[in-house]
Structure 1
């Protein structure tokens, strides 16, 4: 059957419009795509493809715009750029959530762990899935809304904690205690209560009690370890302890020694067993300098039960990092006689330090033997000849230089002049041996046998005009000056390998020099650079020598002198007052401070 013919006789257009050839128009469909005919795809081999559109823009099409917008074709698959963007956003969100979780986990101000109290002493953790993996105080709450707090230290955590960790825990203890107090609707303690050294927080739970209630893990393991150790040593675990950690960022030995003595006296007063930890002491092992301290008749507790705060904890840790907690304002308020304005108000604190000194200051065998013989030798030089009853006077002089400057305002940027020590020593000898007294003949002889004994951290003091004729306190261990170190002779005509310049102790004891002992070069930031790194055996040996020399100086001056001159800004000066005893040093006035009008105090001198 033939297709129907196209009949144009009834067309609405009587005539056909012919486009003039000068216009040279292209089909509109080539540019606008408005043609209803399907276009063939373009390819590199298509004859319809050309580069004319890159050279000029065609004139607008004369065709009319479509009345109905063309439907958009949805792509079958998303463009690769969109996929990559979505994937990138997903990764960014995931990373943000992980960082936020870690931040909340490690830097939360007050970690809160809820616990439920059953009718039969059954507890369960309902606030958090797990305890923090780092030492921190935490708040706990029961089903009735009663809140308490404790300190969580993972049982597997290293002991002792770092000084920064102890400082952070003590700071957070105050925060979490206030937080729990607010939950109970209680206000902060009054000023009188806050200054009470033995104030007990009713909302604090000790570690042992928290483990028994199931608030802290490890109660069964702890009991098992305690039982095992008790069977081995046949000693029970101490009911209450105080452990002193011999670690401080301070290179000096004096402050640590003063706190050690006071901590021991405090432990005896509070009936706590006393232990010493020297695992990270800058001067090496404690028994390398002192004899073994008194051993309690019980065992130390598990290490995670030893807390730096609060003071009411059964097992307390004391170190330089917790000095404000242990020896702060409340301690001074408790152990000072505030009603008195004279030196006697410091006597209770002095007595604590004296108790620690008598129990702990026992030098090792070699050093003790040398100190004893040296004191006998010095006293022998002061002994009067036969036929005379009055012996000479030995005046000890302790000069501290280095990085310790005086309290006296005019000398704060330098040191007390040496002539002030020498002049005061002569005054003391003149006062004791007054030649104008009735027994002038005896005083003249005794005065001739009087002399000064010098000890200093600065080798140049021994060679000064004021003290070059004065014997040293001890000559067993000396801090050498640069001029005293032998220099190897080398042939200057031959090139040699560079050797760093020799350093001595001129100027006194400096922390930078101490921390860099045993190193190839000097680091200006010695403490920061060397503290995290375990010292070598040679470095530890050198540091131990310095500590031994310092302690022998103190012992000989304190016990071998009739009077002692020093500057209270140096902790060694205050230590020697304790070693001399209250009656001799304070009551009799044989301990003489020439650094301002300051009275004795354990850690902070009082004007």
Structure 2
């Protein structure tokens, strides 16, 4: 039995044990009626660690109450912090926009410079740039526009370099103005050529810019009344073609000239020709004057090289990409696929319009060509007693000199002459190779068939491949060294210590020889060669006249033409023959590649 605890002998014998039914309610002192109690008090209980009643609502709070929300006049709540921030930001942007608009209105004319992107200081009329350049302007509504300023001190036409630089700047300033209008998204203008160009809505033409006050008014410049005739009005729209190019050849310039005329007619523009700096002299020395418009040419400062939509355009080899579009850089244009058959025909027909209107030789050369055509026609006529089938005249154009074929295997030399001759015989055999009674007449007709030859190399005429051929014309011919010596035999009775070496056109037409015609000593190539002398212009004009007479005889006096499309003269011949004869009937035969609609022909859009 475990031991029991005996409490009878302790010092606390009088300790009271609470009965189990005693009430354990909270002490009254907890309700603050008797003050704090001691932890040793008999009334102490651990209930205060379990029960924690909230403070009395009648007592003051330990923290101050929140302030009341302010009310507006309408009783609405105060806007949130984000809303206030948005309002302040919009107000700041409005102030900045108003300041920018004030600056633009204070400086309406800004010269364009792609080198410095910063906006230059304001310009007034007297502070316009003293060189031709596009300028930025701001209209009354604060929109960025642009126009072109050409000082009155500059003579027309400008130089090739000035026109080329201005076209580049026009493209840049157009993109810059468009980016302002479309808030930074630049969309450059696309020049498609042949009148198919997207309009630049940010461009202001010169006359409109003068009326709006962006450029000084030039209404005081009046034209003198020529010859006492009634004053003509100034043309509403015009196109002036400048006959000036760094290329010594005349064929590419003529192809551009004819196509530009066709474009002018399609767009209702008056057409003018400027030959101030043409390497071949005066246009009227080679051709008859072009058709005269019923209006006067515009003031020179209104004739612009760009943009394409300008009312008065100037076109030359330096600005051909604006007028005709941007071609491919592939040297073999026929394989580039840039122009399909339909596009080639459109360009061809434009050039054809220019040929019909402009290709009229001067009276002396024209009369000679008429006589020459009659001689060639009489030679191929078969007497009626021998048959009804006349002979064929096959024209052959051989270009050498500094022009090489497109054919890969001959690209560093020239097309062999036997290819021309074999192609001519094949053409004659194809037309005159019948059997039976018709075969007898064809045989007689072959005896009256011959080759009409034109070439820039005089040695081609004496080659064995073209024995028995007829020269296209004999009025002006490029002489060989041997021919020059025969025409000017040395005087053996006079002792000459120094004799100038004789040069001829052996090998063909070379640009270096052309630029030195009439010069006492050979000149080195220069960036800006001196103006040619009168003798140089006379000799150059003779070369051009010979070239044009050759083309006229081949186009009008032969049944077919064989040539290489790499030469501009060959492509000119196709235009002179017409689309139906050249391509539909197959009378224009290109032996230097080809394919596609047009048999390898390309026009002015791929000639620069």
TM-score by structure 2 length? 0.74
The CA distance in 2 between the partners of 1:169 and 1:304, in whole Å, is 13
Q: What are the ranges of 5 or more consecutive residues in structure 2 without an aligned counterpart?
A: 1-109, 329-335
The CA distance in 2 between the partners of 1:581 and 1:543, in whole Å, is 29
Name the structure 1 match of 2:219: 220
CA contact (8 A) 1:113 1:140 kept: no
1:341: Cα distance to partner? Answer: 8.9
Q: 1:186 to 1:227 in 2, by over 3 A?
A: farther
Q: 1:344 to 1:443 in 2, by over 3 A?
A: farther
Name the structure 2 match of 1:59: none
Deviates more, 1:141-150 or 1:318-327: 141-150
Q: 1:179 to 1:572 in 2, by over 3 A?
A: same
Name the structure 2 match of 1:347: 345
CA contact (8 A) 2:189 2:200 kept: no
**In structure 2, the residue corresponding to 1:252 is in which secondary structure?**
coil
Q: 1:437 to 1:188 in 2, by over 3 A?
A: farther
Q: 1:409 to 1:524 in 2, by over 3 A?
A: farther
Q: 1:576 to 1:270 in 2, by over 3 A?
A: same
RMSD: 3.1
Indicate which of 377, 380, 385 corresponds to 2:378.
380
Superposed counterparts of 1:55-94, under 5 Å: none
CA contact (8 A) 2:234 2:295 kept: yes
1:330: Cα distance to partner? Answer: 8.4
The CA distance in 2 between the partners of 1:563 and 1:157, in whole Å, is 49
1:485: Cα distance to partner? Answer: 0.8
1:231: Cα distance to partner? Answer: 8.7
Q: What are the ranges of 5 or more consecutive residues in structure 1 without an aligned counterpart?
A: 1-103, 116-124, 332-337
Name the structure 1 match of 2:397: 398
Name the structure 1 match of 2:421: 422
1:278: Cα distance to partner? Answer: 0.8
Name the structure 1 match of 2:304: 307
Matched, 1:602 2:607: no
CA contact (8 A) 1:226 1:237 kept: no
Q: 1:597 to 1:127 in 2, by over 3 A?
A: same
The CA distance in 2 between the partners of 1:113 and 1:191, in whole Å, is 22
Name the structure 2 match of 1:256: 253
1:161: Cα distance to partner? Answer: 0.4
The CA distance in 2 between the partners of 1:213 and 1:341, in whole Å, is 42
Name the structure 2 match of 1:53: none
The CA distance in 1 between the partners of 2:354 and 2:403, in whole Å, is 25
| 1:373-406: CA deviation from partner (whole Å, max 9, x where unpaired) | 1011011111012221000010000000000000
The CA distance in 2 between the partners of 1:227 and 1:189, in whole Å, is 44
Name the structure 2 match of 1:523: 523
Matched, 1:188 2:186: yes
Name the structure 2 match of 1:81: none
Indicate which of 304, 325, 328 corresponds to 1:328.
325
**In structure 1, the residue corresponding to 2:210 is in which secondary structure?**
helix
Q: 1:241 to 1:429 in 2, by over 3 A?
A: same
Name the structure 2 match of 1:462: 461
The CA distance in 2 between the partners of 1:401 and 1:521, in whole Å, is 25
Matched, 1:364 2:351: no
Matched, 1:287 2:284: yes
The CA distance in 2 between the partners of 1:587 and 1:408, in whole Å, is 24
Q: 1:371 to 1:228 in 2, by over 3 A?
A: closer
| 1:111-140: CA deviation from partner (whole Å, max 9, x where unpaired) | 99999xxxxxxxxx6578611111111111
**In structure 2, the residue corresponding to 1:439 is in which secondary structure?**
helix
Name the structure 2 match of 1:542: 539
1:436: Cα distance to partner? Answer: 3.1
Equivalent residue pairs, number: 484
Matched, 1:205 2:186: no
